[in-house]
Structure 1
Amino acid sequence: MKKDNSKSLRYGMIIPLALMIASLVTSCLSYYNAKQSIADDLNDAMIALANENCGLWTRQDTIAALRQMHETTHKPLIYQASDINFRNSALKEMAYFTLALVDKKNATPKIQGDKIASDSIMLVPARAVDGLAIQVQGFADCSMASLFAVSDQTLPGILFSLSILSMAAMFAWRRTETEMPEAGPAPVSPAVHPLDGIRLTPMQRQFAQMLLDAPGMKVDKATLCSTLWGNKSNAEESLYTLVRRTKTALSASDIEIICNRGDSYELRINS
């Protein structure tokens, strides 16, 4: 029985384990969905911003300013996104766009750090030479914790709670099974003594007990006389009287005393 309970516990643990794995998988999916949603939001805002400012950013004076800035700082121009409408309003505080001059002399700048990046757009001026273009790209400074906070963790939370509850239920069931005594054979009640419930005097009970304890429940007269009365002169007469009265006391039961040729007495239990 104990082996079956252990096997049931092992198989039962598959349920909370499966729920835990499902919770982890759905949590990761929700995290990456939130990350992709921010990237999509950046893409839409970047396209709208580029369409609105394309003429301004491809002017010669803007290109000259970008070229001078790159030669001085080797960094792109940062355009803050506080005046841009995002689907997720929290992006206004953490998003920005970069404008970088790209040509044969200036490679595409690398943005360091843990950021979410949008796609990039190349704005080509009307009088472009040497492959000159203005690269526009959006970024959002989102830490893993902030991404996890904005992701929808409702389903993962439900699955995780179910896994904990099912695990607790399995251990509670296991504890109950351990504490429950195993079913075994019913205790055998001690055998009823043949003389129980029969009204006998102390001498009668001693005499009947001697016969009951003897091999074959048979005792000779001499042993009975010496044991019960010692060296008393009329022990045989006393024995005869004792036997007669004991027979009368046992008459209502299934026990009888048999006299064997006058030299021994035997106890017989009729069942």
Structure 2
Amino acid sequence: MKPISAVVVFLFLICSAVWASVDGYHCAETAIVQDMNQALSKTLAQKREAWITPDTIENYRQHLQIAALRRRSVVSYALGEDAHSLCSRQMKWRSGSRSLRVQSYADCSFATVWGLSDQRLSFAFLMLSLGWMAVSIVYLRRHQAGRLVLGKMVYAASDRSFRDCHGERIAFTPMQQQLMELFINASNRKLTKAFICETLWPKKPDASETLYTLIRRLKPIVSERCGLKIVADRGDGYRLTSDLASKKEKDCLS
């Protein structure tokens, strides 16, 4: 798993949690308005006076099914929409020649509505995102332990693999693989010719030509796939370095 994949999944889960929370909040608002509508409708069905009295408000509150609204919602003469509170639809009461248009309002803060909303789905997404983050951190730390980044190349000691910047495995020959591992494990990425020959061809009296051929075939691969260079070090050996470091050295010498 790549780090970017872990981040994308985490952001998706967080966005899902936010969406579920907002949706739950709006559903709670809708439920509050519907409760006020039904309570006001029942209140008007029992109303006899052509004006609003304390008994009207008390009767209205008794019809509310959401207990938290009973101290926050009142009946008033229809005033239209109120940007600072939730309101029911306007209803008309009529008795003979007398008529009255009323509306109920609820002074509910954001915290009140949010507390009445169903946030279980949002909480589940939030827990999933936190769990995913914890698992991803542990996985990436373990997966990246023993990894070495050099130029555009990544070496994983766990499976002794060399990969490019795209995560694709670099197909070295067995000899090229051994030589690259020698460079990786060497101090300053520097190897003497004698050490290379003794390690790779211990039974061969003179392996200079074989080493030269191996280096010549390896150079274009590490340059193209790894962003590295194998540089001859004063005729005594070879050094693995990045293209940028090689350019800086040339600039200093010139």
State the TM-score bracket (shorter-chain normalisation). Answer: 0.5 to 0.7
**Structure 2 length-normalised TM:** 0.54
- CA shift, 1:93, in A, is 0.9
> Gaps (5+ residues) in structure 1?
67-75, 101-107, 193-271
**Structure 1 length-normalised TM:** 0.51
Which structure has the greater CA radius of gyration? 1
Q: Distance in 2 between the 1:142 and 1:135 partners?
A: 23
The residue identity in structure 1 corresponding to 2:138 is A
Identity %: 18
Q: Which of 132, 135, 144 is the matching residue for 2:110?
A: 144
Secondary structure, aligned partner of 2:21: helix
- CA shift, 1:191, in A, is 4.4
Q: Distance in 1 between the 2:137 and 2:54 partners?
A: 61
CA contact (8 A) 1:96 1:138 kept: yes
Q: Distance in 1 between the 2:58 and 2:110 partners?
A: 21
CA contact (8 A) 1:81 1:97 kept: no
- CA shift, 1:13, in A, is 2.1
Task: Give aligned pairs, total.
Answer: 158
1:56 match: 49
The residue identity in structure 1 corresponding to 2:57 is Q
- Aligned residue runs from structure 1 range 43-192, under 5 A: 43-53=37-47, 55-57=48-50, 62=51, 80-81=57-58, 83-98=61-76, 100=77, 109-110=79-80, 112=82, 114-127=84-97, 133-181=99-147, 182-183=156-157, 185=178, 187=182, 191=198
CA contact (8 A) 1:78 1:96 kept: no
Q: 1:164-206 CA distances to partner (integer Å, 9 max, x unpaired)?
A: 22122222222223322433545579949xxxxxxxxxxxxxx
- CA shift, 1:51, in A, is 0.5
> Gaps (5+ residues) in structure 2?
148-155, 161-177, 183-194, 200-254
Q: Distance in 2 between the 1:88 and 1:19 partners?
A: 31
Which structure is richer in relative contact order (CA contacts within 8 A, separation 6 or more)?
A: 1
- CA shift, 1:21, in A, is 1.2
Secondary structure, aligned partner of 1:80: helix
Backbone CA RMSD of aligned residues? 3.1
Runs of 4+ off more than 4 Å: 76-79, 110-113, 186-192
CA contact (8 A) 2:42 2:63 kept: no
Secondary structure, aligned partner of 1:175: helix
